[in-house]
Amino acid sequence: MLTLQDTAIRSHFPSLDSPTRFLDNAGGSQVPTQVIDAIRAYFLESCAQTGAAYQPSAAAAKTIAKAHAVVKSFLNAHARGEAIIAQSTTALIHTLASAYADALHNRTISRRRILVSTLGHEANIWPWFKLAARGFEVIPWHPVQSGNLWTLDHDALRGLLDERTLLIAFPHVSNIMGQIEDARSVCRSAAAVGARSVVDGVAYAPHRAPDVADLGCDWYAYSTYKVFGPHAAAAFGSTAAFAELDGPNHYFLPRTMVPYTFELGGVPHESAAGIAALEDYLHAVVGLEAPADTDHTTRRNTFTRAFTHFEAIEEALQTQLLDGLSTIPGLVIDGSPTGGPQRVCTISFHVPGVRSASISAALNQQNLGIKSGNFYSRRLIERMGLCPTDGVVRISLAHYNTPEEIDATLDSLRTFLR
């Protein structure tokens, strides 16, 4: 039976009326009414190109500016740098990597060593590995194993990092392991030798409000469609990091027009409307009326309050799921088998001798929306000794999921694996 809290939150998500139980939220979250309405309103009221004096054009420009401001507050990036909005995190990192290659060619940077963690999603791996063909020394930074948990190897990093290092690319959370990494320590170590840090926050941002000021990172990227918004992505870049690079947008644009010089073709307007509306949903969650204009401090406080609330809900859900999975004979949890504040609700497992694809297919037949595979973390799956195409089964929860959905999932798993 749903609690009043469950009902209040779920009432904002019309798609949850579907017979399908959405348990693949790490692949893409559901979207609240506030975001849906904002995107619709854009098309009805301000579907126009920016840069003109007529009202819909000005309204579109205001929407884009608000989207940038919301991203900066969500990441706590105010006064530290700028926010870029694009179609995906993969596209953002490719754009960034290409800009570094141009900077080396143009001699605005001289360092060539790039350390790349193989713990995470390929979005923050392959764009950097490709730079080996453009004059860079690219060094893989492999994770360390402790039981069934694979994490960043901080001891190995000390042996790899020195004054030749240009940047370190790594995930805040592995989208397979679900463990929150000590990103702050890595960023501080990079800064100590003058290197830049590129943090993949895609698996972290749906569960916690990132704080780039506390991390001390230079770049931080996440996917807005996994944080209750439209299918797009956003990234923070520090002022110092942007200053070293030229954006790939049209040649006649001043290089100081950041972030526009990095937003090829401009920001998708309807996506900007949806991204900007995230704060309206969060205001509803924390019981506040959304003000017409919000300063950074007020907006950031709303984000932290709402995501602290989400964290408490999700910690109970992940503990329930992990405890249930641990009772199923033969099932191996990939990652920490216990819930807690150092874990998010992304939980993977495999069953030796049983194809992960057959497990997910069986649960899909029960209207349980989960997936199996490598989830674009193929290098980690290979290091785990699993089939790189079949991979793991992943159940990823959000704050709108319920204990009843977890019970149904566990019952179906037990029946299939009996």
Domains by residue range for the chain, with CATH: 4-31+311-417 (3.90.1150.10), 37-282 (3.40.640.10)
d(CA 148, CA 63): 45
21-22 and 368-369 as β-strands: parallel, antiparallel, unpaired?
A: parallel
Query: Is the pLDDT assigned to residue 197 strictly greater than 50?
Result: yes
Share of the chain above pLDDT 70, in %: 97
Give 32-52 pLDDT, tens digit per residue: 999 999 999 999 999 999 999
4-8, 62-66, 206-210: least confidently modelled range: 4-8
Question: Could you say which DSSP state residue 354 is in?
Answer: B
What global pTM score does this model have? 0.96
Which tens digit of pLDDT belongs to each residue from 333-350?
Answer: 999 999 999 999 999 999
How far, in whole angstroms, is CA 259 from its chain's centroid? Answer: 20
pLDDT at 5: 60
- Cα 200 from chain centroid (whole Å): 7
In terms of Cα–Cα distance, which of 185, 190, 237 is closest to 215?
185
Q: What is the pairing mode between strands 113-117 and 165-171?
A: parallel
